[in-house]
Amino acid sequence: MTNKINNSKGSLHGYWSSRISFILAVAGSAVGLGNIWKFPYIAGVNGGGAFVLVYILCVFLIGLPILVSEILIGRMGRRNPASSMEAMALQSSSSKKWAFVGLMGILSGVLILSYYSVIAGWSLAYIFESFSGTFVNANSTIVEESFFSLSSSWKITMFWHSLFMIITAYVVSKGVAEGLEKAVRLLMPLLILLLLILLVYSALEGEFIAGLSFMFAPRFHDLTADGILVALGHAFFTLSVGMGAIMAYGAYLPDNMSIGRISISVVLADTFIALISGLVIFPIVFANGLDPEAGPGLVFMSLPMAFGNLPGGIGLGVIFFTLLSFAAWTSAISLMEPAVAWAVEKFKIQRVTASFFICLIIWVFGLGTVFSFSLLSDFLLLGRNIFDNLDYLTSNILLPLGGLMIVIFASWVVNIDSLSIQLDKSRGIFFRLWLFLSRYIAPIGVMIIFFYSVNIFST
């Protein structure tokens, strides 16, 4: 690496070679399956442009301060999330028990990836389903039967789950320079290219004006209190904060790169991809008379049927599910990295060994999700199957708690002089704004998300 590192404590795993590599890596972590289908859907049904305005405001008031906090802790600690938080706590004369927050983030990433890889495996499978012409001139019955055949077959689902985990572990095993950086520098530009190709197609063949109106026309009468809370929640979750992934990536960030500029770039990139995804999906939805409120069903049922009845639909389907798979892959890499970094440092083992050991653990956990749609579909705990319980535990409890504790730790516990050295030596407007938002606004926002998610405020 050409970057000169000034920290007395250096990263054990390497460094990002450039600012753009780090931006692509963090953006890749943030951009996942949720950006492609979830954001366009929730924006469209919650007031369009009115929702987008509230969402962007929430991203900068809630998401950005936590994102900056994670990068700060990572770069200051230069270790895995647990060790970085412990080191910074001791340096600030606080309790080393703060390491538990980092461990909770690592656990969250492992649990999320265990079911995320199963859904990502479906995306891989649909690349080949689309290429084979399965959806050409298909009606809703054929498409639904195809999805049920895939999801209910534990053998097929396990195969794609296994393949996705292996390719993810391979990238992580290669380290920062040869693995993470090379992957994101290839995958993220390709992802954006595929998205733009689909955008052009959607503009030419779909009901583009209808899709544009659905996404961006400000319908304030449709923006309810629940819609505002949805915007708040998605602004938090979309940036992959609270799970230690950004903290791990921050540990590899050289000192001569501005955390503030990079963080803002990541937020803008993530929002841009989410907005463009809506302009890809909804013109096609409206052109085919589909239900824009179909939610996840849009991806694996409604859109394949639409692709199969459009000119060039086979190629369109292949491109779309390749896009989904790339988005899932970049996110999966970031979810796995904190656990691998922790294993390398904790047990003093080689990264290759740690990567495939962690991969095996995640793969085994993932079998619970695999069987949730087949052998154990009738097994319910608290009224939910294994997949739904994992999703609820991570999304509604672990991630909000992790984000809350991280932002409190960074803004209230860590020595303020150390923070200003890393973020803004002159303690200018960005530092003061970050400190205010991190101490007062972001924690309140995350607590609202948490209480709403566990149905304390819901009716």
CATH number (domain holding residue 299): 1.20.1740.10
pLDDT in tens, 252-287: 999 889 999 999 999 999 999 988 988 988 898 888
What pLDDT band is residue 436 in, cutting at 50, 70 and 90?
very high
Residue 300 lies in domain = 19-453
- Answer yes or no: is pLDDT of 43 > 50: yes
- Answer yes or no: is pLDDT of 5 > 50: no
Give me the torsion for CA of 10, 15, 243, 338, rounded to 10°. Answer: -70
Would residue 240 be called left, alpha or beta, if left means φ above 0 and alpha means ψ between -120 and 50 degrees?
left
Average the pLDDT over each of 4-8, 108-112, 429-433 and give the range with the smallest value: 4-8
In a domain, 171, yes or no: yes
CA gap 321, 325 in Å, rounded:
6
Overall pTM surpassing 0.95 (yes/no): no
- As given in the structure block, the two tokens for residue 129 are 């389903």
CA gap 132, 43 in Å, rounded:
33
Output the CA angle 345-348-354, nearest 5 degrees. Answer: 80
In a domain, 4, yes or no: no
**What is the predicted pLDDT for the residue at 383?**
87
In a domain, 14, yes or no: no
Stretch 205-232: mean pLDDT: 89
CA gap 401, 405 in Å, rounded:
6
Q: Do 45 and 233 contact (CB within 8 A), yes or no?
A: no
What pLDDT band is residue 186 in, cutting at 50, 70 and 90?
very high
Average the pLDDT over each of 129-133, 291-295, 381-385, 451-455 and give the range with the smallest value: 291-295
In a domain, 120, yes or no: yes
Backbone angles phi, psi at 238, to 5 degrees: -65, -25
Strand boundaries in 140-292, DSSP class E: none
In a domain, 359, yes or no: yes
Q: How many CB atoms lie within 10 A of CB 225?
A: 9
Q: Do 313 and 54 contact (CB within 8 A), yes or no?
A: no
- Answer yes or no: is pLDDT of 4 > 70: no
State the helix-helix crossing angle for 99-131 and 399-408, rounded to 10 degrees.
Answer: 140
**What is the predicted pLDDT for the residue at 288?**
81
In a domain, 1, yes or no: no
In a domain, 10, yes or no: no
Please enumerate, as own/partner, the contacts of 273-277 that have beta carbons within 8 Å and a separation of 24 or more.
273/27, 273/31, 273/35, 273/191, 273/192, 273/195, 274/31, 274/35, 274/39, 274/40, 274/238, 275/39, 275/52, 275/215, 276/195, 276/196, 276/199, 277/35, 277/36, 277/37, 277/39, 277/40, 277/195
**What is the predicted pLDDT for the residue at 114?**
97
CA gap 342, 340 in Å, rounded:
5
Structural domain count, the chain:
1
- Answer yes or no: is pLDDT of 56 > 50: yes
What pLDDT band is residue 455 in, cutting at 50, 70 and 90?
low
What pLDDT band is residue 319 in, cutting at 50, 70 and 90?
very high
- Answer yes or no: is pLDDT of 112 > 70: yes
Q: Do 230 and 62 contact (CB within 8 A), yes or no?
A: no
What pLDDT band is residue 214 in, cutting at 50, 70 and 90?
confident
Average the pLDDT over each of 237-241, 339-343, 440-444 and give the range with the smallest value: 237-241
In a domain, 349, yes or no: yes
Identify residue 61 by its one-letter amino acid code.
L
Stretch 343-355: mean pLDDT: 97
